A and B are shown apart, each in its own frame.
Chain A
Amino acid sequence: MLSGFPLLSLAIWVPIVAGVVVLATGSDRNARAARLIALAGAVLGFLVTLPLYSGFDVAANGFQFMEWAPWIETFNINYHLGIDGISLLLILLNSFTTVLVVIAGWQVIQDRVAQYMAAFLFLSGFMNGVFCALDALLFYVFFEATLIPMFIIIGVWGGPNRVYAAVKFFLYTLLGSFLTLVALIYLYNVSQGSFSLLDYYELPLPLAAQILIFLAFFIAFAVKVPMWPVHTWLPDAHVEAPTGGSVVLAAIMLKLGGYGFLRLSLPILPDASHYLAGFVIALSLIAVVYIGLVALVQSDLKKLIAYSSISHMGFVTLGIFIFNAHGMEGAVIQMVSHGFVSGALFLCVGVLYDRVHSREIADYGGVVNTMPVFAALFMLFAMANAGLPGTSGFVGEFLVIMGAVKANFWYAFAAATTLVFGAAYTLWMYKRVIFGAVANSRVATLKDLDPRESLVLGLLAAAVLAMGVYPDPFAEVLHTSVNDLISHATQSKLPAP
């Protein structure tokens, strides 16, 4: 019924067109119009992704909702789109988050509203493009294009040290992607002139070439994830970004890295992926354990959540590189769950920051006395971050640990320490901020959530609980795609000797 309808193009271009319209409203005199159009665009952008879920065939192998059109014929580059279960979940997450971000920035942003809203809409469209692209160059173009709006978002509406953070963010990511470009061109030449990912999946490559390409991809995706030791841009970017920027950064942009591993590295370079899996797993475990400890000592709320993000993303890369269905499914679910949870936590910090204008944990205490509703929601998200059963955070971590046990007990053991550290830093932070005596006069005069904030956090709370209690709707779209991917990733592609 919907097969011929370009739903994926809509998912990409509706937010972008909406962004252009928002920009056209111009100066801050029309701020109200800009906000309304942005909201309409974001909601519409979310609505057009819903038929993707309802029309998705969970049993089918390969990619669905394919679209194909020639784009740059000289280089045989095509506008080739298609999704599997993994991309589907990330597209939904992205479009959903965009709505929340627009609402979250409703009152907080008073300066250059149209540009702010438009930047998020562009970002949303570009990221959907990354998740849909089946042409390597199209993937690359969207992947890179996300940098521009994010750079502007951090640099214009960020905190005091925003310029440093924005430039660091941009250059770090560009470093990885330029090498990726070289690798892609190399693949293009080897494959006799094709940029199609589907062709690359079948392309035999010698191990040495695979390893070099893997490393080029790895730098790009590891910076995005971010993995230890190239994670240092993230705390800076998060701390300085406005709330909406932090939410999108944590909820979606970090997933571009994980998604890149799944879509490019594993199926195109299975032998190199196996060969270097130990290395990636080691880095992941360092992220999980060491960054978990780093999070423990943070005195800045946003920094703490940023480090917790890195630690959680360590789970994702761990799950991906242990090459079994549990691990990989766990990794994807962890990505989605982390999208909800970290987004929610950054929104919670935003709620506090808008009122007190401080991110220091020491400036808070006893918030529960003045903001009981907020405290309850915050509690839920903190628990989800710590991986409490019944929340979304548990499902992914549990699956990854289960997968890790199959691969190697000690992997699982190291990974499982996060259940302790995660609980420790999250709950300790929660205790210091929320409980205890009212710390100072500013906390004493706090007002609880307004309806807009309640709506945003309420929606996220529902998502976190739904995913924790009944993960099936999320998991079932993944089964076939993950098995497909594993069969690609475990089949050697070395050319016959």
Chain B
Amino acid sequence: MQYILPLWPAYPELFLLVMACVILLVDLFVSDGNRIVTYALAQIALAGCLAITYLTGRIEPTYTFSGMFVDDVMSDVLKVPVYLAVMGTLVYSRSYIAARGMFRGEFFVLALFATLGMMIMISANHLLTLYLGLELMSLSLYAMVALQRESPSATEAAMKYFVLGALASGMLLYGMSMLYGATGTLEITRLAEVIFDGNGRQAVLIFALVFVVAGLGFKLGAVPFHMWVPDVYHGAPTAVTTFIGSAPKLAAFAFIMRLLVQGLGAEQLLVEWQQMLVVMAVLSLAIGNITAIAQTNLKRMLAYSTISHMGFLLLGILSGDLNGYGSGMFYVIVYVVMNLGAFGMIMVLSRSGFEAENLEDFRGLNQRSPWYAFLMLLLMFSMAGVPPTVGFYAKLSVLQAVINAGYLWVAVVAVMFALVGAFYYLRVVKLMYFDTPLDTAPIRPRADVRLVMSVNGLAMLVLGVLPGPLMALCLYSIQVSL
């Protein structure tokens, strides 16, 4: 049994914790006019985490806190996009929340605590750590959704999110307790050993598995546990939706990897959860894509598109080999970047007192601003999976893993629903390019937003032309971490 030390694998988490507390304190002394200080500190905290994660990166997995916490390549590779996604979200959100009276310390502190929760989830090697990270993230997110107090839809969304989220957490916890009962350990690596050795009652394990998968399904927003997604995405302020829709997906992926793959990845359980994931994935693809067609609200449409993307992500994982996990990781990273850009664009087009969240608001964007229309075009085609954008390679690698695992029919179903999905992404492009604008207000975002949005959009193309390095990195990190 190891002792508390070494501490260095957890330096990024410790740093962020300290910084979040410091910001909480400093913010008390900052007047409303100088709130920019809080914003800057939050960005510095994230940039610091980025640097520390880079500096403390080791190839060998390092366990600490008595084996409750692990720092391996997979965690480092997943944390970096988390930081970047949160930083991007904050950049996009700044004007948006300022115009809606949310430019306050709480927003940033909650965002940082949620980020901390994600980081803990990503690095967890113990069911309690995993749960702790999940709850830290979820509670912060519930509060963020409710931050816009005067908005009834936001309050309703927060309520719904909280109730369903708590239910999911309960299920997860119940599943975990049964895992403990069956194996006598909460440490994920130990859990795997016990199950691999054939100790632990199969019936109890499967029962536990059902609850764990259901809980995970809730957190991911996969069908049939998806009901909260459209309402929360739609009701929450766009800045918060962007936040919920991006970085937490990385944490959810890590959650699946840690719990299902590392903990319950032994052959006799693998076949069980594979079947559950097939059903969830196919249903998510079907319901997500078909329902998205009927939406007129872009946020709602993207919510359903999220459901379908999560279906695709599950496809990568259910293949049950390293290649598949690597492709799932690539998919989730790409998805986060795409989603960040798409929601960011809604905030770019929104102004004080006006939410550009309906599809109609994108009408004729090409005439108002060819550059933003082009970026949105890249994002939409990437979501649809049309080459040469990176979304295509994400789908390619997942499909490859699925077919390799012998699920040819699932791959065919997946591409058919991807075709359905192409239709509604195409509709956004159609509105931007083929129609004349209803609203001719000039689009003049701040310079930093302009820069980040351009990088975000062009990343679709650049990663699409050169997807090799990121793909290789994902596969490598899975190989050395599992």
Contacts and interface: CB of A to CB of B under 8 A. Distances in A.
Interface of A: 26-27, 70-75, 112, 115, 137, 140-141, 144-145, 147-148, 151-152, 155-156, 162-163, 166-167, 170-171, 174-175, 178-179, 181-182, 185-186, 188-189
Contacts of A75: 396-397, 400, 471
Interface string B345-380: 000000000000000000000100010000001000
A181 B396 contact: yes
A340 B71 CA distance: 63
A175 B400 CA distance: 18
B430 A185 contact: no
B386 A144 contact: yes
A140 B387 contact: yes
Contact of A182 (B386, B399, B427, B430): B399
Looking at chain B's contact residues, the main secondary structure is helix
Contact of A186 (B377, B403, B434, B472): B403
A141 B419 contact: no
A166 B475 CA distance: 38
B408 A170 contact: no
16 contacts: A112-B366, A141-B388, A144-B388, A166-B430, A167-B423, A171-B426, A174-B386, A174-B422, A175-B419, A178-B418, A179-B412, A182-B399, A182-B408, A182-B415, A185-B400, A189-B404
Nearest to B422: A174
Nearest to B416: A178
Contact of A72 (B393, B403, B404, B416): B393
Contacts of B408: 182, 186
Nearest to B420: A171
Interface string B387-412: 11000110011011001100010011
A155 B388 CA distance: 20
Contacts of B404: 189
Contacts of B243: none
Contacts of A73: 468, 472
A424 to B, nearest CB: 37
Contacts of A27: 370
Contacts of B370: 26-27, 115
Contacts of B423: 167, 171
B381 interface: yes
A156 B392 CA distance: 25
Interface string B429-451: 11001100000000000000000
A67 to B, nearest CB: 16
A155 B423 CA distance: 14
B387 A144 contact: yes
Contacts of A189: 400, 403-404
B467 interface: yes
Contact of A171 (B422, B429, B433): B422
Interface string B20-62: 0000000000000000000000000000000000000000000
A-B pairs, top 10 by smallest CB distance, nearest first, are A178-B415, A141-B387, A72-B468, A155-B434, A74-B471, A144-B387, A74-B472, A185-B400, A185-B403, A145-B388
Given A74-B472, A182-B403, A163 B412 contact: no
B426 A170 contact: yes
Contacts of B415: 178-179, 181-182
A144 B475 CA distance: 26
Looking at chain A's contact residues, the main secondary structure is helix
Contacts of A155: 430, 433-434
B414 to A, nearest CB: 9
Given A70-B468, A148-B381, A181-B399, 16 more contacts: A27-B370, A74-B397, A141-B387, A141-B392, A144-B386, A144-B388, A144-B392, A145-B388, A152-B433, A162-B434, A166-B434, A167-B426, A167-B427, A175-B419, A179-B415, A182-B411
A425 to B, nearest CB: 32
Nearest to A178: B415
Interface of B: 326, 366, 370, 377, 381, 386-388, 392-393, 396-397, 399-400, 403-404, 408, 411-412, 415-416, 418-419, 422-423, 426-427, 429-430, 433-434, 467-468, 471-472, 475
B388 to A, nearest CB: 5
A70 B388 CA distance: 17
Nearest to A180: B415
A22 B249 CA distance: 39
Contacts of B471: 72, 74-75
A156 B412 contact: no
Contact of B386 (A147, A162, A185): A147
B419 A178 contact: yes
A80 to B, nearest CB: 15
Contacts of B381: 148
Nearest to A170: B426
Contacts of B366: 112, 115, 156
A267 B89 CA distance: 50
Nearest to A137: B396
B434 A185 contact: no
B272 to A, nearest CB: 25
A447 B270 CA distance: 76
A186 B416 CA distance: 16
Nearest to B470: A74
A170 B424 CA distance: 12
Contacts of A26: 370
- Choose among B326, B377, B415 the residue with the greatest number of A CB atoms under 10 Å from its CB: B415
B422 A163 contact: no
Contacts of B392: 141, 144
Contacts of B429: 151
Nearest to B417: A178
Contacts of B430: 155, 163, 166-167
B396 A185 contact: yes
A182 B393 CA distance: 13
A70 B427 CA distance: 36
Contacts of A171: 419, 422-423, 426
A185 B396 CA distance: 8
A97 B303 CA distance: 44
B90 to A, nearest CB: 31
B468 A174 contact: no
Contacts of A170: 422, 426
A234 B453 CA distance: 37
Nearest to B415: A178
Contacts of A74: 326, 397, 468, 471-472, 475
Nearest to B399: A185
A162 B433 CA distance: 12
A70 B475 CA distance: 18
B74 to A, nearest CB: 16
A424 B257 CA distance: 67
Contacts of A145: 386-388
Contacts of B411: 182, 185
Contacts of B475: 74
A174 B400 CA distance: 18
A141 B464 CA distance: 10
Contacts of A185: 396, 399-400, 403, 411
A179 B418 CA distance: 11
A27 B471 CA distance: 37
A396 B423 CA distance: 38
A182 B401 CA distance: 11
Contacts of A174: 386, 419, 422
Contacts of A156: 366, 433-434
A170 B426 CA distance: 9
A150 to B, nearest CB: 12
A144 B404 CA distance: 23
B434 A148 contact: no
Contacts of B419: 171, 174-175, 178
A261 to B, nearest CB: 21
A83 to B, nearest CB: 21
B473 to A, nearest CB: 9
Contacts of A148: 377, 381, 386
Nearest to A114: B370
A140 B399 CA distance: 15
